[in-house]
Structure 1
Amino acid sequence: MNDLSHGGADVGNDAGVVDARLESSLEAALRLAAIVESSDDAIISKLLDGTITSWNGAAERLFGYRPEEIIGHSVLTLIPDDRRSEETDIIERLRRGERVEHFETKRLHKSGRQIDISLTISPIRRSDGSIVGASKIARDITQKKQADALLERQTERLEALNRVSRIISQDLDLERIVQAVTDEATALSGAQFGAFFYNVLDADGESYVLYALSGAPRDAFDRFGMPRNTAIFAPTFLGEGIVRSADIRQDPRYGLNTPHKGMPTGHLPVVSYLAVPVVSSSGAVIGGLFFGHAEPDRFAPETESLIAAIASQSAVAIDNARLHSAAQAEIANRKAAEDARELLLHEVKHRVKNTLATIQALASQTLKTTPPSEKDAFISRLHALSGAHDLLTLSDWQEIDIAALVQRSLAAFSIKGTPRVSVEGPEVRLSANKALLLTMVLHELGTNAVKYGALSAEHGRVSIAWRLAETERPTLRLEWRESGGPPVTTPTHRGFGSRMIAAALHGSDGHVAFDYRSEGLLLTLDLVV
């Protein structure tokens, strides 16, 4: 009895151990199943012949198939035709017992849409070590790919703008600048042909239109004459805004004007259409950049933004070329052998002297009956004023509002539709030399921000604010504040840019302070106005 009883206890204990192991295995299996089902990554298993054997909830969300729709079908259902060779390579590696780590590729959604994914694939083995299938973990990397593509496009855009800037900044000849801008913009836009129609003033001040052409022979335009200010062209020639059309023939403004009611016979075929006004810093419309393609929908919003930035740069270059041309003409009229730069620097002095001479002549006529001592005292004051103006070496007396100056100086560093730079401050008008100085400072800061600071990051921002400080002299106090960029550390030595800014402001009785905060550069600038 005792032996039988004891033996029965042993059998009972063994059965209990087996039950515990089974329960533990079941719990482990249930935990694993719960983990797989709750995972944010798609987890799929398949046989070596490609038949799908399991499918979790994340796989359904990623690919659109319910388990009953896809389990039992080939994994080739998810693979684009041009990528099916990948599956052959994967199977070969699995048979060798290899694990595939973070393989980036594309797979198909149920709708037919392609998805960017990262795959990790591991072999599934039997207890004897033989490989019977594989488990795949798929992660959606669409947003990462989009971010990478955006960064690449922004980099290409900046490189293109820098290249155009270098090309046009090295020349002061109007026709060469216009042709270079037209060629570069046509290539960057992907247009079949492009044209730049621009206004020119002759020696008598009469305006006429010239044009540069890229991608087509000149006789393709010559026989049709210059574009008229029709409903399609008016927004460009009036500077009202950009016109971008996937199919210009569908635009309600198209084909309204006689005699052609659309494109003349023999005209270059235009379906996709993009036109961008080129506007001077004074607000005058210089002309317009026009691009065409025979196929529809060839110009994306990013193309529009890029060409708008090129138009802004070309406006500055054309303004400079026109100023240079005007200066050259004035030099020829005054003194052919005199250095152009010297004449421009002293132009204001000559103008002021002429004005004072006129005032002196008027005063002499008006003060005929005034005692000689009083008249001489007045004339002496005029001469003293003339001497004071001899110290000025400006080329122009025109003033410019700081808001327009800031926006113009930083136009090349923005993306249409994306507010990267904000400005805030009251109306303050700057003299020509102060405006030039501030333009140099802003351009240096903008370039540095694009290369190393806030504008080098997708979410980086720059805030510019100014006010008139209450000091002994009217002083503009401007703050340049960066945020959202890479972490900032105090440099071990001062670079050329910071030295240039400090030296330029010091020479103009100004002051600058650099605060290299970790969240972004804060620059404070004081400039006596």
Structure 2
Amino acid sequence: MSSRSIHGSDASLEASSALSEPRERCASLSQEMGLHDVLEALPEAVYTTDANGLITFYNSAAASLWGVSPSIGESVYCGALALYWPDGTPLPHDQCPMAIALKEQRPVRGLEALAQRPDGTRIRYLAYPSPIFNACGELIGAVNMLVNFTDQAVADDAAQTHNAIVESSDDAIIAKDLNGTIINWNGGAQRLFGYSAEEAIGRPVAMLIPLDRPDEEPDILQRIRRGERIEHYETIRRRKDGSLVEISLSVSPIRNRQGRVIGAAKIARDITERRQAEAQKNLLIREMDHRVKNLFALANSVVSLSARSASTPDKLATAVSSRLTALAKAHALTLSHGLSSEQPTTLHTLIQTIIAPYAAGEDNAQSRAVVSGPDISIAGNAVTSFALLLHEFATNAAKYGALSSAEGHLEILCSTNGELFTIEWNERGGPLIDGEPTSVGFGTVLAKATVRGQLCGEISRDWKREGLSIKFVFAASSVSAQTGV
């Protein structure tokens, strides 16, 4: 035999020896690592029973799930102290998934149940028991794996609750990704903006932004990417029908499990009614302020007018008292009647009541207003509207116009033209007028709001040099038809 053959044979023996060593080590390791060691290392709960259901082994994960370490060879079918079906109905041990697998000698896959721990908490799990047979086909026991999905079930329940809350919210709740694409749209958003979820999801949220606000959405997205929150940002959005709505907007970043911002959640609330209420409140405050100031001015005018005609202090006191009393009666007409049972008044009577505080003569008996033309009945809330309007005219006349001088007087002409009723208020004998005022006072605004908004009419003013002329027209039926609230 050649030297090469000998050397080649030696090399083969060495290679064979090198390959056999790992196999031997694996076989030795396999002998050292028994089946119980493998089952103990598994992260899920695993246990075995004999053919009668007596527990023969359980790993640490099983003891952790049950909250107790059962006695080997004594506990039957399951190591938990008590079992329940998912709906909370008690589940006897001899009817549990492991019992079914042994009695029916078949695997049971994914049957859900609850295991109660000694502290009373219940763990939701899925059972996967399988019977074990020997070489002759005889049942010798079973193995069961319990998958704890309590955390997932709680998360699912929380998610369902969260979804129900979001969907039932009156506010619009919208989710979008970092590109501004809508990914979630609740019922409140549909009610506020008019788009259904099918129409909105997948479209850019910029469809809600008015054309005059192109930079608003990019700025919001930039702040969200930085992880900022936007609280109660008041802005305007556009509905599906093109109309605009005032909203209060709150935006929060949406983060994934790693904490990275992946989108944004928006809550939009319609603040139209709130804005209207605020405007109404401010109007009422301004009106109150205006009327209080007018009352002081009127009281001053009454004293000044009475002083011009009174010859003694007693007569002055009598005149002032009489006029202030008449002024109080006129002011009372500007208050709502509510459920009052008072009879409707007439326009002429109302005018004379409003003008009474400025009567001429020492006995305050001579009216300074001449009213001509047809009269009209005024009912319910219309009395308040007319009293406010005429009170405003008389107040201005007493402060700046005909009623501010002893010689001044009013000529009030009423006329009809079909369904329309016209009142012309003409001031004469007062200070000469240089021209129309350069600014519009609150009284003028209030008068226009009363005529147009409450009487559905129109009003105009003519600043003649000899005195102011006011003309307003309204539908007679709208006045007589109004009743108390």
User: TM > 0.5 between the two?
Assistant: no
User: Which interval holds the TM-score relative to the shorter structure?
Assistant: 0.3 to 0.5
Q: TM-score when scaled to structure 2?
A: 0.38
